[in-house]
């Protein structure tokens, strides 16, 4: 189906795209007050749907947002939206905004959250990236501090990531790494980061300032299955420069090899063997773990 014919779930109804509209007084629009999820569906299996929904409801709890659907109703709304759009593979975006209120910041003027589910085809990254790897940079904009806006909340306020993405583009690359105020590596604009050194896999602990990515967790599970030692350890840019391998993980990106950071070649400048093995194993499990539509 063409995207113009897409049916969008909006507050309990499936409506044509042209009718899927919310108020300009929605605090999601005015203040980025709300939360979201991005989920993949592979051959009729919604990958780790429950984990995504747990994260959504935890984000909601953290910002004192009442989602007007139970966990099971939300899961059903997502399945229904995927079915209505006849999608076997694609990308699902769930958005819960604070809802319509007055112009003040106080969310108490917003009586009901708006719930939106969009299911569409996925815009795949070019195969080139997986075959040859990505050149990235680190950027001056620091990751949001967990003490200010915790990156574990998948909030609609994505300006921090937008700035990072623009700084990447200004440097002529597609993605960038952030560090926190102490100089420890956090994550990319929309993905988690891993490095490999002497056959050990490392990823930063999320409390340094990163989203608890579902793909990150899946990769950690794959490491366990393959008996690759993995540790959540803080590391610096220097550690990335001298790593044997580096890769990024995310729902859209899956596993992307990184071959250069800030002009330093990583390893031999080619996608590393452990990165490639993890991508291969990851692509095997995505059709096994999740809810069938
Ligand atoms: N970090 C950020 C900032 C993200 O927005 C995302 C999701 N796009 C990720 C990491 C990866 O998380 P997941 O594997 O759950 O998609």
Asked if residue 291 is part of any domain, the answer here is no
Residues whose CB is less than 8 angstroms from the CB of residue 215 and which lie 6 or more positions away in sequence, other chains included = 191, 192, 249, 250, 251, 253, 254, 255, 282
Tokens 């109804």 belong to residue? 13
Say which of 61, 154, 165, 197 is annotated catalytic: 154
- For residue range 191-201, list pLDDT tens digits in order: 999 999 999 99
- For residue range 259-286, list pLDDT tens digits in order: 999 999 999 999 999 999 999 999 999 9
Asked if residue 24 is part of any domain, the answer here is yes
- Lowest mean pLDDT: which of 53-62, 142-151, 238-247, 283-292? 283-292
Distance (Å, rounded) from C-alpha 57 to C-alpha 54? 5
- 251 C-alpha to ligand 1 centroid (Å): 7
Q: Which of 69, 99, 120 is the last residue of a domain?
A: 120
Task: State the pLDDT confidence band at 68, using cuts at 50, 70 and 90.
Answer: very high
Clarify whether residues 79 and 221 are in a common domain.
no
CB 161 near ligand 1, within 6 Å:
yes
Q: Which tokens go with 211?
A: 């989203």
Q: Which tokens go with 198?
A: 């002497």
Clarify whether residues 64 and 144 are in a common domain.
no
Q: Which of 105, 120, 135 is the last residue of a domain?
A: 120
Mean of the pLDDT values across residues 34-61?
97
Q: Based on the residue annotation, tell me whether 61 is a catalytic residue of this protein.
A: no
Asked if residue 87 is part of any domain, the answer here is yes
- For residue range 212-232, list pLDDT tens digits in order: 999 999 999 999 999 999 999
Q: Is the per-residue pLDDT at 247 higher than 70? A: yes
Clarify whether residues 136 and 253 are in a common domain.
yes
Distance (Å, rounded) from C-alpha 38 to C-alpha 95? 9
Mean of the pLDDT values across residues 48-67?
98
Clarify whether residues 53 and 177 are in a common domain.
no
Clarify whether residues 61 and 36 are in a common domain.
yes
DSSP letter for 262, please: T
Give the structural domain span for 181.
127-285
Mean of the pLDDT values across residues 244-265?
97
Does the pTM exceed 0.95?
Answer: yes
Q: Give start and end residues of each alpha helix (H) in the chain.
A: 27-31, 49-62, 71-84, 127-132, 159-170, 214-225, 237-241, 273-285
Percent of the chain with pLDDT over 70: 99
Mean of the pLDDT values across residues 67-78?
98
Number of domains present in the structure of the chain? 2
Other beta carbons within 10 angstroms of residue 126's beta carbon come to: 9
Clarify whether residues 34 and 112 are in a common domain.
yes
The protein residue whose alpha carbon is closest to atom 2 in ligand 1 is: 190
Asked if residue 224 is part of any domain, the answer here is yes
| CATH code, domain with 216 | 3.20.10.10
Clarify whether residues 74 and 184 are in a common domain.
no
| CATH code, domain with 69 | 3.30.470.10
Among 142, 213, 221, residue to substitute to test ligand 1 (most atoms within 8 Å of Cβ): 213
Task: State the pLDDT confidence band at 124, using cuts at 50, 70 and 90.
Answer: confident
- For the chain, the average pLDDT equals 97
The protein residue whose alpha carbon is closest to atom 5 in ligand 1 is: 190
- 69 C-alpha to ligand 1 centroid (Å): 24
Complex ipTM more than 0.95, yes or no: yes
**Is residue 186 within 8 Å of residue 207, measured between CB atoms?**
no
């Amino acid at each position: 189906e063409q995207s113009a014919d897409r049916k969008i779930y909006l507050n309990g109804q499936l409506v044509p795209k042209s009718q899927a509209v919310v108020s300009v007084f929605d605090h999601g629009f005015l203040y980025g007050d709300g939360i979201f999820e991005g989920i993949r569906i592979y051959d009729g299996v919604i990958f780790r749907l429950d984990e995504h929904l747990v994260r959504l409801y935890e984000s909601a709890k953290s910002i004192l947002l009442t989602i007007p659907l139970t966990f099971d109703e939300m899961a059903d709304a997502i399945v229904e939206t995927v079915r209505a759009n006849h999608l076997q593979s694609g990308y699902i975006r769930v958005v819960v905004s604070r809802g319509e209120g007055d112009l003040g910041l106080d969310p108490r003027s917003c009586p009901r959250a708006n719930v939106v589910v969009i299911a569409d085809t996925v815009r795949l990254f070019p195969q080139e990236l997986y075959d040859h790897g990505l050149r990235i940079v680190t950027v001056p904009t620091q990751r949001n501090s967990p003490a200010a806006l915790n990156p574990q909340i998948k909030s609609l306020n994505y300006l921090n990531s937008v700035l990072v993405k623009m700084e990447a583009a200004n440097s002529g690359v597609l993605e960038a790494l952030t560090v926190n105020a102490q100089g420890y590596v956090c994550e990319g604009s929309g993905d988690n980061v891993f490095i490999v050194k002497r056959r050990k896999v490392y990823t930063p602990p999320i409390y340094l300032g990163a989203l608890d990515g579902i793909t990150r967790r899946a990769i950690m599970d794959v490491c366990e299955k393959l008996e690759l030692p993995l540790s959540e350890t803080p590391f610096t840019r220097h550690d990335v420069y001298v790593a044997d391998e580096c890769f990024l993980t995310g729902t859209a990106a899956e596993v992307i090899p990184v071959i250069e950071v800030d002009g330093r070649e990583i390893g031999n400048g080619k996608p590393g063997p452990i990165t490639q093995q993890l991508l291969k194993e990851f692509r095997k499990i995505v059709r096994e773990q999740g809810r069938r539509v």
